[in-house]
Structure 1
Amino acid sequence: MTAAPSSPGATPLRPPPDWRLELHDSLPSTADLIAARAAGGEAEGLAVLARRQTAGRGRQGRSWVGIEGNLFLSVLLRPETMLREAPQWSLLAGVALVDAVLPLLPDPSRLRLKWPNDLLLGGAKLAGILVESSAGPEGRLAWLNLGFGVNLADAPPLPDRPVTSLAAAGIAPPAPEAFAPRLLAMLDRWRRVPAAEGFAPVRAAWLRHGPPLGSAISVRQADGIRSGHFAGLDGDGRLLLEASGRLLALSAGEVAAGEIAAPGG
């Protein structure tokens, strides 16, 4: 059922069953609102969509420009899992986002996931995912906040990487209000997988849309840049980098912009 929104100015939409989707004309940050609701005991399944976002953020404190017509969506989940497994949900969110975008594309092969949290179209950034979590007792996860920013209608420039949008790629962009329920349907399907089958199906799906094995990549980490060849993901979702005859499992970092080309690129 779609519950009535619990704050002024929010309008209910039609999400999948058991989800509550709120639409706001403008918010500083959908992620901040979800975090506040989670801390207040809100049940999982809440999704907050804003037409405009004035203080959005991405990974590592980057700002995310909130242009109307793009998607700004954050969702609250409370999976029964350990806090250390929270990074796997960034990969799961990416797989759900791919499934939501693919039917819109005339050439699905141009879509690619970039570890750990970006979606590329033709080698340029189309979307980003921000995952925030809170610890519960005994090392368990109290809640997850999955934030999605998708360039549907416009692509605000970034200083360190190429960007694109569906509109810039010649694809008629759906309205955020139409795309959000599609994304939630995909997320609802994938969020049930780890409890039933473990992380392996998510890992396999991510790899189908990730860089080709053997691709030359560089990964920025706090202590510098590591360069080598993409060797897949391990069973926990860590990036495997083959470098100087060694296989490194990286749990944090960011694949450098422009390192992953589109298939055939």
Structure 2
Amino acid sequence: MWITLLGAMFPGVASALILYGGDTPEFNADAPTGIYEDSGWQYQGIYAQGLGTAISPTHFITAAHLPLSSWFFYDGQSYTVDFVNYQDISGTDLRIFQVTDGTFADYAPLYDGALSAGDELVMMGRGAFRGDEVIVAGDAKGWELGSSDFLQRWGTNELEDLLPTGVGPMLLSTFDDSGGPNEASFSPGDSGGGVFVYDAVDGRWELVGMNYAATLGPYREDPLVPGEYYATLYDTSGMYEYDFDTASWVPSVDPTGYMLMSDLTANRSTIQAMLVPEPGSALFCLTSLGIWVMGRRRR
């Protein structure tokens, strides 16, 4: 399984999550209602090519692999970002910034419960809208990556597993067409979007993860015929993907697409400590971490 970072592959693409039932760009492009009301949409702000999530009156958290930017657009207002004295959580893809010219009226609570396989997740993003449908031998597989419309959208999925990786603990979900029309996967531009889980004890949705990466190919339908493309697939059977280790096209070994999200619960105490300035100092300053691509095979 090849995992591609969501903010590094196509730097000019930024629009929305890939949704199973999203056959129009406007699908889930407004704040969710009903059982998903207040599930994290209100805490999202535009940062660089992706999103960030407010986590204190002056701090927001995002993906460290996004390029630096001097502004954060949140709740209808543009804030100036201190992009020099940011704080990285060592060994992860998580980065915390502070704004210097105002305060946020509201911010996301951090989840402090235990996670289990099957937990429902609500995800936010603004990556590429889905393009042409992929059909192989008469079977629908998913969608090629489409054009950009810069819309924030929301979607849902389920937690499948918790994984240790070279960039910290990750939440793993699959895109397998079993979660109804709101089932979502990631595309380039979704980096930094917040992932939320419902805390029954507190009676609210709380921040649990941060969009990191997804399986996007490239794929071929015939290993000997050029014409590969990047796509979000819920069925990879009969497809071929490029093996960078052997420099060859090999049959896809995973039945579905996968998504990785940085696990904030494993770093909750570190995050909370970073939100409290040292005496006489407005911010901590840690060494920056530059990550571009991670490849991982699931066997």
Larger Rg: 2
Q: Name the structure with the higher helix share.
A: 1
Query: TM (normalized to structure 1)?
Result: 0.28
